[in-house]
Amino acid sequence: MSEPSTPFLPKSRVAAVQAAPVFLDPAATVDKACSLIAEAAGRGARLVAFPEVFVAGYPYWNWLMTPIEGAEWHQRLYRSAVLAEGPEVAALCAAARDHDCTVVIGVNERDPFSVGTIYNTNLVIGADGSLLGRHRKLVPTWAEKLSWAGGDGSSIRVYETPVGRLGTLACGENTNTLARFALLSQGELVHVANYIALPVAPASYDMAEAIRIRAIAHSFEGKIFTITACSAVSEEIIAAMSEGRPGNRELLSRPNSAFSGIIDPHGQVMGEALIDDEGIVYADIDLGECVRPKLMHDIIGGYNRFDIFNLTVDRTPRASAYFIDEVQSPGSSEEAP
Amino acid sequence: MSEPSTPFLPKSRVAAVQAAPVFLDPAATVDKACSLIAEAAGRGARLVAFPEVFVAGYPYWNWLMTPIEGAEWHQRLYRSAVLAEGPEVAALCAAARDHDCTVVIGVNERDPFSVGTIYNTNLVIGADGSLLGRHRKLVPTWAEKLSWAGGDGSSIRVYETPVGRLGTLACGENTNTLARFALLSQGELVHVANYIALPVAPASYDMAEAIRIRAIAHSFEGKIFTITACSAVSEEIIAAMSEGRPGNRELLSRPNSAFSGIIDPHGQVMGEALIDDEGIVYADIDLGECVRPKLMHDIIGGYNRFDIFNLTVDRTPRASAYFIDEVQSPGSSEEAP
Amino acid sequence: MSEPSTPFLPKSRVAAVQAAPVFLDPAATVDKACSLIAEAAGRGARLVAFPEVFVAGYPYWNWLMTPIEGAEWHQRLYRSAVLAEGPEVAALCAAARDHDCTVVIGVNERDPFSVGTIYNTNLVIGADGSLLGRHRKLVPTWAEKLSWAGGDGSSIRVYETPVGRLGTLACGENTNTLARFALLSQGELVHVANYIALPVAPASYDMAEAIRIRAIAHSFEGKIFTITACSAVSEEIIAAMSEGRPGNRELLSRPNSAFSGIIDPHGQVMGEALIDDEGIVYADIDLGECVRPKLMHDIIGGYNRFDIFNLTVDRTPRASAYFIDEVQSPGSSEEAP
Amino acid sequence: MSEPSTPFLPKSRVAAVQAAPVFLDPAATVDKACSLIAEAAGRGARLVAFPEVFVAGYPYWNWLMTPIEGAEWHQRLYRSAVLAEGPEVAALCAAARDHDCTVVIGVNERDPFSVGTIYNTNLVIGADGSLLGRHRKLVPTWAEKLSWAGGDGSSIRVYETPVGRLGTLACGENTNTLARFALLSQGELVHVANYIALPVAPASYDMAEAIRIRAIAHSFEGKIFTITACSAVSEEIIAAMSEGRPGNRELLSRPNSAFSGIIDPHGQVMGEALIDDEGIVYADIDLGECVRPKLMHDIIGGYNRFDIFNLTVDRTPRASAYFIDEVQSPGSSEEAP
Amino acid sequence: MSEPSTPFLPKSRVAAVQAAPVFLDPAATVDKACSLIAEAAGRGARLVAFPEVFVAGYPYWNWLMTPIEGAEWHQRLYRSAVLAEGPEVAALCAAARDHDCTVVIGVNERDPFSVGTIYNTNLVIGADGSLLGRHRKLVPTWAEKLSWAGGDGSSIRVYETPVGRLGTLACGENTNTLARFALLSQGELVHVANYIALPVAPASYDMAEAIRIRAIAHSFEGKIFTITACSAVSEEIIAAMSEGRPGNRELLSRPNSAFSGIIDPHGQVMGEALIDDEGIVYADIDLGECVRPKLMHDIIGGYNRFDIFNLTVDRTPRASAYFIDEVQSPGSSEEAP
Amino acid sequence: MSEPSTPFLPKSRVAAVQAAPVFLDPAATVDKACSLIAEAAGRGARLVAFPEVFVAGYPYWNWLMTPIEGAEWHQRLYRSAVLAEGPEVAALCAAARDHDCTVVIGVNERDPFSVGTIYNTNLVIGADGSLLGRHRKLVPTWAEKLSWAGGDGSSIRVYETPVGRLGTLACGENTNTLARFALLSQGELVHVANYIALPVAPASYDMAEAIRIRAIAHSFEGKIFTITACSAVSEEIIAAMSEGRPGNRELLSRPNSAFSGIIDPHGQVMGEALIDDEGIVYADIDLGECVRPKLMHDIIGGYNRFDIFNLTVDRTPRASAYFIDEVQSPGSSEEAP
């Protein structure tokens, strides 16, 4: 037999990018992302994880303005949103292929049918440049509901990649016990949890700690590696949000608002995590380390009780209408518009 | 990247024609239509919407005579009906191409197989002169059932045009909640609802108001532009229908029977609508205005619940028989005649 | 035979209440509601429709403050929310029974399991004092998402009442083409669309007109009666929302923000509607009037095409988990070896 | 109405006991437990949480000996196991009643039918002295499988108590995503996670940290309070396990093997946790604090998607056989011959 | 606490009687049984097990004559059958009480209602002289069907006795996997399997071995003690059956037709078993020995899978008719005659 | 008519292999297995039964070391485990097909989703080389729980093969009354019970005898043929387990630890069984012999009482989650309004 391209439990270097986008400028942000892919791949990374909606920025106004005040910014967000089939995503795919690197990156995605609808979408791009998956965040968090519609269940999937079976959830979704389990149940071994820096949350909410808790919990429960990649807040963003609202400058400068790092299957941070500052965090992960902790607890195997707990995940794609355009042979399925 | 021919959310001038046909004379009516296209295009319109069955007239006798009495008129209607592939439609297409103008126009269409069958058909003609679509009214209204057969679902479609994604429904179809939604779900942004003046409806039925209600409802629900184009009642028609039935003259002269105008995405009439009189109404529409109202309600996106409401639209073409003329490879689909 | 209590197509007097709650005080607001029921019933009303979340107030802060600023108010809203099985609802049921009156009323409903979860719920109370239905608004509108969770499809129902088959949707749901159709499809003849006064919407949004458009559209499409009941903005509310934010006073005083009235099956307002002011609007409705307009268009019958349009409504109740607590009957579904 | 005995979102003092049992001596251990209840109640605690299998000790031999070597100890464990209906549990119930205190405590429970079968059982004892619940650990962890059989799903329940809705899971069960969610879904607000000190786990397993991770994860995800109570390793236990195996002394003395403390709904440890040493940790918890964090993420409410994720929990009691002893009335669910 | 009369896992001496009855003479056979009880108790036995239908003999004619030929013998069998409430059973109960000895003994039992019906019944008599249980053999074996009717499921029970939880099955019933499991599931620790000597079975059937296989299997599977007590064939019986049929003498004298003995929880025969000859076998059993083998396999506990295997046992008493003699309150159960 | 390939009650030669694997080397062990298939088939065997987890070895360390000490060996076991779809199983299937021989063989099976999970799996391979069945041992025995997860009920099946209806249970499962009965109830006539040599069990456990008891019990109760195939302990295994633990050499050399042989429907061993040594045992079995003993006792037929005993077997496949991936057919099960 020929040697398989990916060993059973591979070892790889992975990278988590903590960076700010060029605010609401998708073309410039994609350029920045491609440079960061090149840099990380140059240092040996076979997986590069980017923040949530890195292309091209997070709607901070939802937290800093009333909905009416923010509506003008919404127009700008909508016009900066990209299509999954558009040129910006094509450029990211090319960079992944050129650097033989799996990439997970968040984008503001424009719905191809409903004018005005935007999704918070995580793209999983294969090392061959193909678009492996597109996960639309299921439920936006609190004030984010003012900007994004929720996705359907069709993207609750893990993907075979050279660094191992990979799944991703965006930000608050990592709080969702059932969403996390649905990925673990598919044999997820590498989880990308990407976030945005959230200095504007309530004072009781320590965002860096909130990111860390969820990451170590997911790694510990599933006995897998978790990679968190979080955005940074740039002076450009602070300036945009503080224009005419000087109090926002202090809010947006609050420390401990971003955390990027890699967690091992015991729930421990590998090396140093990056707090708030821009940069790239690297770690060498060995999936063989996922085997032994399962002797203690294997929640998708012998340590669970599927005679008692029965989870069904509806991954049916949802559309506003389904169109049947051809004479059906019995049993075939409808086409979406 | 090269400049795309149509911007993402274009601005255009659109026109709604309120006019009477040359009664049951398709050639003369097409001439009149081509003149009106030229006039509107000359004033900058990139879309011209004509009334329902403008070519070449509405069978008022169904409302004014008994079916037996009307049968003679039906013979005349049938002989004046056109084929979609015939010279009258070709002439309209040429006019559209010559004036770089999208055209929506109603015709009495002759079925190519069943002698005697007529459809109430809306044609969508591209600015390049191609026939983009042919929508046969699904269900004729009340007395209209005496003249027309209903179409199939194959034309429940929107079309990419230089003025935006365009869909159309004829007259009473704009009452049909599901038909309207099926167009919205495809990303319709410009809706053409064409009508005939109906002075002969029951006294409780204010036709102009009935047209307006449906137009503002569709625009408000979908956050889109609606263009209504309604026919006028000419002295020629009154004379024809009153011959030997003098009481019909008064009926056919009843005011508030026609309404043509353009509605914005908030459900407001743009400028002045045209009531009863012949003329052309113009408006400058900016599809960018469709984005903001979706923040309130986006019924084909985040404001709906497709986990609860699941609409399937069967667009399968229907024919009286399907003929298989070749040895079928497994899985291929049958051919319609 | 004796006279049946409810004739086939009854005539009744119905009432729409336009009033402000005692802000965030459920006990006092229920007292006010009971007085209004008594008053309306005293004038012969057999159905009294109250505004959305009348018990006990609308979270205006979502539109007037940032989410962080509004969080303190959210705590107050939560503590003022009622249980469907609680004493406040029991008092409303008693009033309905005492006055032999069907009542539709909106409440902030506390989830019995998830601490912190509130629904925008419409209660339908029978004239015998029983709780006929509980409809949790499916999708809160824009800024409202900051306060309420959405309901499931289980309440997409109409109810037999002495005034006829009655259905209800809250506020923006009346924009939802599919939700409206799902009620019509069950034979709805009396629709209660209740709202809150929304002076704080964007300037382009004329709330009174937006209520009216939806009401006449629903009545016209379905050939039914629609009753709109909208809340009023009290000085108490203005004062609460303007404390430390004087600019809010003007916003909350904007005219044309509330509309209550009754619409007939032709889409016409019966008598005078009430704009902004508190009061009760009455109308005498005769369900026999719903028959004739269906000759023109019966969208749940002969004027639709269910061979083409197939709407499925999933009314499955949804819960965070389902518990099987009893030994299952053996012998029910085994497979033979 | 009269004042309810328990307010809607009560405030209470709770206590977590970190202590060693009198090894394999249930009567003496129950005496110790009753003293600790008296002490904690004397300082105002309304809830006292005890370690896993506190009555009367943990089978450390499974980790320190081969199964054959440990079989002799198993005999002693079996004979020290108690019946839920036995005098030891009755004494604990009396102490709870006497001190008006809810008690959660782990016991080695003897199966009433199968000689030789022992369960790792958590008892929930009401402040009135009643036995509210009996949860048999679903799956023993790794080497523990040598001692205990697993329970069925019938005890996946939360209980109404004066300190709020309370649920409990033992030790490694707190790793089980689905078990945790099944409690949260019932409105759990106070979670007792009890453990045993595990100095003998593999060197890579930091038990105190492993307890902490799970506790903060559960509190953070569910926005609830978690109380962890862990046993301590006494000199008595060390001596028993080291007899003839001197190397075990060092293993059993490894630090960071026990953690008891209380976690708030933000995932933060309240005050100081107790590491390794015996003692009682107290905290004053206010269930009102559970409301606000749900604005961010309410995974059993608006932040989840039950149209996608459908969890069924089979709580059917399981027995080795079911006996039908009475003549069935027709229509009952057992199968007649 | 006072000393309980029976320790948790008692040690006792038990006895198995291998003997022949006084053929078809119940009074004389009961006298013999009482003597044997006295003898065994005198040697310390706390349990005495007698053969199947010891009172007063087995219908060998079913195997040796045609049914027509045997009918005369059936008359004699019927007249020798006893009532459970009759003097013969009372005498046995008195002997048990007098010697403080639990007794299991087989009888031919006369149905109290149906003249002619006989059951093969095992009586369980308490050491206090009470009749604990009456088990009618469920299915007679092959030729036995010519004499006995089968019992219902009401006697599938174990009984608390001073020697431990005791159950019994007659002869071929010990082949019935489900019947055996139904006793084990109730915590049976001492099983009495009584038989008759069967020299007349087919040549391939080694009765002594067939008794042994079933006994060691039941003990091994359940980790319990099994006591087999088998009848002997007396010269009296041989003479009766050979009268006019001399060939039967050889058949009835075939060796290896009876086996009495005691089996331990490992499936090993304790001491020597008794083959064919009359006598009493004794063993000292320690129920504490049942605990350790369960570490390997506990088929009514942790080594089974009751999520997969669900056994229901219908113990409803069956009668030829049920009589309702009182006005029933709803939900009460019928009374058997 | 032509001769059918399999007669109704066929006669066949069957073989039981008693052998040691090449320890933890699946490729070399599969080679050995293929040679043994060739050898047995060469001598006329149409069925070859291999030991439990023959591919590639039994985790003896669980009995000889503490769990912590054994964890390193667990890593090796995991990496030597095979996928049911992998090349090792394909090679076994090819050998079965090449030699026209039904094969039952045990393997350590790797879970395709959960890294770290291993099952003790029996494969049933058809004489045509297809994989007929895959039975994952339901409950590992005592110390085995440290290595394997349990399977679900989906494999409680018998298979049609040229040697008759065949079922299989692994090792201790043959103690499970209900599992055995569930196979018998499907008409099992040939039962393969495979085992591993267990010299390391407690001294009171005579493994060869324990294998024999269960085999003769199953054959006797069911009136069927049982084939037991047990592994042998090689010097290679002894050396591996004794490295640094010299005492283990004696333990692993204990006699009477393995038993392979064939049992007839009367519960008698056919010919000589093989104790401890490597080799192949053959027997010529005639399924026609299963008929007559059923005259005495047919526990799945006339000798049982299914009005009393009702066994349900849940063969539902269990998974950690179920995914619904296709649009559900509309129109299937909606409720009418």
Supply the pLDDT for residue A336.
Answer: 40
HEC sequence for chain B:
CCCCCCCCCCEEEEEEEEECCCCCCHHHHHHHHHHHHHHHHHCCEEEEECCCCCECCCCCHHHHCCHHHHHHHHHHHHHHCECCCCHHHHHHHHHHHHCCCEEEEEEEEECCCCCCCEEEEEEEECCCCCEEEEEECCCCCHHHHHCCECCCHHHCCCEEECCEEEEEEEHHHHHCHHHHHHHHCCCCCEEEEEECCCCCCCCCCCHHHHHHHHHHHHHHHHCCEEEEEEECCCHHHHHHHHCCCCHHHHHHCCCCCCEEEEECCCCCEEEEEEECCCEEEEEEEEHHHHCCHHHHCCCCCCCCCCCCEEEEEECCCCCCCCCCCCCCCCCCCCCCC
Nearest CA to CA, how far is B306 from chain D (Å)? Answer: 10
**Where residue A57 falls among pLDDT bands split at 50, 70, 90?**
very high
* Mean pLDDT to the nearest integer, B29-34: 98
Instruction: Tell me the per-residue pLDDT of F64-107, one tens digit each, with 9 for 90 and over.
Output: 999 999 999 999 999 999 999 999 999 999 999 999 999 999 99
3-state secondary structure of D146: helix
E1 contacts chain F (CB < 8 A): no
**Where residue E73 falls among pLDDT bands split at 50, 70, 90?**
very high
Chains that touch C (3 or more CB pairs under 8 A): A, B, D, F
* Mean pLDDT to the nearest integer, C14-18: 98
| Tokens 């080679």 sit on residue | F31
Query: Is F213:F174 a contact under the CB 8 Å cutoff?
Result: no
User: Mean pLDDT over all residues of chain A?
Assistant: 93
CA distance C78 to D222: 18
* Mean pLDDT to the nearest integer, F312-329: 85
Asked if the peptide bond before residue D16 counts as cis, ω within 30 degrees of 0, the response is: no
Query: Is E244:E237 a contact under the CB 8 Å cutoff?
Result: no
| Residues A150, B313: C-beta atoms closer than 8 Å | no
F291 contacts chain A (CB < 8 A): no
* Residue of E307, E309, E310 to mutate for A, most A C-beta atoms under 10 A: E307
By CA distance, what is A156's nearest residue in D? D308
CA distance D274 to D280: 8
Supply the pLDDT for residue D2.
Answer: 40
What's the whole-model pTM score?
0.92
Supply the pLDDT for residue E201.
Answer: 81
Supply the pLDDT for residue C2.
Answer: 47
* Mean pLDDT to the nearest integer, B196-224: 93
Chain A residues in contact with C201 by the CB 8 A cut-off are 68
Q: In what order do the strands lie in the sheet with B102-110?
A: B131-136, B118-125, B102-110, B45-49, B11-18, B279-286
By CA distance, what is B307's nearest residue in C? C314
* Mean pLDDT to the nearest integer, B79-107: 97
| Residues D296, A214: C-beta atoms closer than 8 Å | no
Q: Is beta strand B102-110 parallel, antiparallel or unpaired with respect to C11-18?
A: unpaired
Supply the pLDDT for residue A327.
Answer: 60
* Total residue length of chain F: 337
Chain B residues in contact with D309 by the CB 8 A cut-off are none
A99 contacts chain F (CB < 8 A): no
Nearest CA to CA, how far is D307 from chain B (Å)? Answer: 6
CA distance F176 to E185: 12
Could you give the C-alpha distances from C194 to C19, C36, D151, E98, in angstroms and in order?
12, 16, 51, 86
**For residue E85, what are the contacts with CB-CB under 8 A and spacing of at least 6?**
E112
**Where residue D328 falls among pLDDT bands split at 50, 70, 90?**
low
| Residues F331, C312: C-beta atoms closer than 8 Å | yes
Does residue F329 register a pLDDT over 60?
Answer: no
CA distance B141 to B176: 12
Stronger pLDDT, F337 or D146, i.e. the higher one = D146
Supply the pLDDT for residue D334.
Answer: 38
- Within F191-252, where are the H helices? 207-222, 235-242, 247-252
Chain C residues in contact with A66 by the CB 8 A cut-off are 63-66, 143
Residue D254's CB: how many other CB atoms inside 10 A? Answer: 17
CA distance A326 to A333: 10
Q: What is the DSSP letter of A50?
A: -
* Residue of F68, F115, F313 to mutate for A, most A C-beta atoms under 10 A: F115
Supply the pLDDT for residue E322.
Answer: 83
Which residue from F143, F306, F310 is facing D146, i.e. has the nearest CB? F143
Which residue from E186, E291, E298 is facing D75, i.e. has the nearest CB? E291
CA distance A172 to A194: 9
Closest to B159 in 3D by CA, of B127, B181, B132:
B132
Which has the minimum average pLDDT: A318-327, C164-173, D285-294, E57-66?
A: A318-327
Query: Is F162:F189 a contact under the CB 8 Å cutoff?
Result: no
Query: Is C200:C64 a contact under the CB 8 Å cutoff?
Result: yes
Nearest CA to CA, how far is E307 from chain A (Å)? Answer: 6
Supply the pLDDT for residue A328.
Answer: 53
B307 contacts chain A (CB < 8 A): yes
* Mean pLDDT to the nearest integer, C155-172: 97
Instruction: Tell me the per-residue pLDDT of F262-278, one tens digit each, with 9 for 90 and over.
Output: 999 999 999 999 999 99
What percentage of residues in chain C have a pLDDT greater than 90?
Answer: 90
Asked if ipTM goes beyond 0.85, one says yes
**F234: amino acid identity, one letter:** S
CA distance C326 to C285: 49
* Mean pLDDT to the nearest integer, E230-243: 97
Query: Is A316:F325 a contact under the CB 8 Å cutoff?
Result: yes
**Where residue A124 falls among pLDDT bands split at 50, 70, 90?**
very high
| Tokens 């590696």 sit on residue | A225
| Residues F304, E201: C-beta atoms closer than 8 Å | no
* Mean pLDDT to the nearest integer, D51-70: 96
By CA distance, what is E307's nearest residue in A? A307
CA distance B180 to F315: 48
Query: Is C36:C18 a contact under the CB 8 Å cutoff?
Result: no
Instruction: Tell me the per-residue pLDDT of A65-116, one tens digit each, with 9 for 90 and over.
Output: 999 999 999 999 999 999 999 999 999 999 999 999 999 999 999 999 999 9
Does residue F62 register a pLDDT over 60?
Answer: yes
Q: What is the DSSP letter of C288?
A: G
Q: Is beta strand E274-275 parallel, antiparallel or unpaired with respect to E259-263?
A: antiparallel
Supply the pLDDT for residue B329.
Answer: 56
Query: Is E161:E47 a contact under the CB 8 Å cutoff?
Result: yes
Residue B317's CB: how many other CB atoms inside 10 A? Answer: 14
Query: Is A26:A57 a contact under the CB 8 Å cutoff?
Result: no
| Residues F142, D200: C-beta atoms closer than 8 Å | no
CA distance C152 to B305: 9
Supply the pLDDT for residue D335.
Answer: 35
B288 contacts chain C (CB < 8 A): no
Nearest CA to CA, how far is F145 from chain A (Å)? Answer: 9
Supply the pLDDT for residue A2.
Answer: 40
**Where residue D326 falls among pLDDT bands split at 50, 70, 90?**
confident
Nearest CA to CA, how far is A150 from chain B (Å)? Answer: 7
Name D286's bridge partners.
D11
Which has the minimum average pLDDT: C40-49, D6-15, D220-229, E10-19?
A: D6-15
User: Mean pLDDT over all residues of chain C?
Assistant: 93
F315 contacts chain C (CB < 8 A): yes
Supply the pLDDT for residue B325.
Answer: 80
Query: Is D291:D9 a contact under the CB 8 Å cutoff?
Result: yes
**Where residue D332 falls among pLDDT bands split at 50, 70, 90?**
very low
| Residues D321, E181: C-beta atoms closer than 8 Å | yes
Residue B58's CB: how many other CB atoms inside 10 A? Answer: 29
Rounded-to-10 torsion of CA C37, C42, C47, C51: -40
Supply the pLDDT for residue C203.
Answer: 78
Supply the pLDDT for residue C327.
Answer: 58
B3 contacts chain D (CB < 8 A): no
Closest to F16 in 3D by CA, of F229, F166, F263:
F229
Instruction: Tell me the per-residue pLDDT of D110-121, one tens digit each, with 9 for 90 and over.
Output: 999 999 999 999
* Residue of E291, E309, E334 to mutate for D, most D C-beta atoms under 10 A: E291
Does residue A132 register a pLDDT over 60?
Answer: yes
* Residue of A142, A171, A176, A177 to mutate for D, most D C-beta atoms under 10 A: A177
Q: Is beta strand D274-275 parallel, antiparallel or unpaired with respect to D259-263?
A: antiparallel
Tokens of B144: 């209209």
By CA distance, what is D145's nearest residue in E? E302
Closest to C36 in 3D by CA, of C280, C284, C281, C283:
C280
Q: What is the DSSP letter of E82?
A: B
Residue C64's CB: how many other CB atoms inside 10 A? Answer: 22
**Where residue C286 falls among pLDDT bands split at 50, 70, 90?**
very high
D315 contacts chain E (CB < 8 A): no
Tokens of F333: 């099960």
Supply the pLDDT for residue E327.
Answer: 63
Does residue C134 register a pLDDT over 90?
Answer: yes
Stronger pLDDT, C245 or A7, i.e. the higher one = C245
Supply the pLDDT for residue A6.
Answer: 58
**Phi and psi at residue E132, to the nearest 5°:** -70, -40
Does residue A198 register a pLDDT over 60?
Answer: yes
Chain E residues in contact with D320 by the CB 8 A cut-off are 181, 184-185, 299-301, 304, 306, 311
Supply the pLDDT for residue E2.
Answer: 40
> Which domains are delineated in chain D?
11-295 (3.60.110.10)
* Mean pLDDT to the nearest integer, A314-323: 93
Closest to A53 in 3D by CA, of A21, A96, A31:
A21
A67 contacts chain B (CB < 8 A): yes
Query: Is A174:A215 a contact under the CB 8 Å cutoff?
Result: yes
Does residue C331 register a pLDDT over 60?
Answer: no
Closest to A237 in 3D by CA, of A92, A33, A76:
A76
Which has the minimum average pLDDT: A43-47, C319-323, E199-203, E333-337?
A: E333-337
Instruction: Based on the residue annotation, tell me whether E52 is a catalytic residue of this protein.
Output: yes
Report, as residue numbers or ranges, the catalytic residues of F: 52
| Residues E291, D116: C-beta atoms closer than 8 Å | yes
Nearest CA to CA, how far is E121 from chain D (Å)? Answer: 20
Chains D and E touch (3+ CB pairs under 8 A): yes
Residue C132's CB: how many other CB atoms inside 10 A? Answer: 19
Q: What is the DSSP letter of E6?
A: S
Q: Is beta strand A322-324 parallel, antiparallel or unpaired with respect to B309-314?
A: parallel
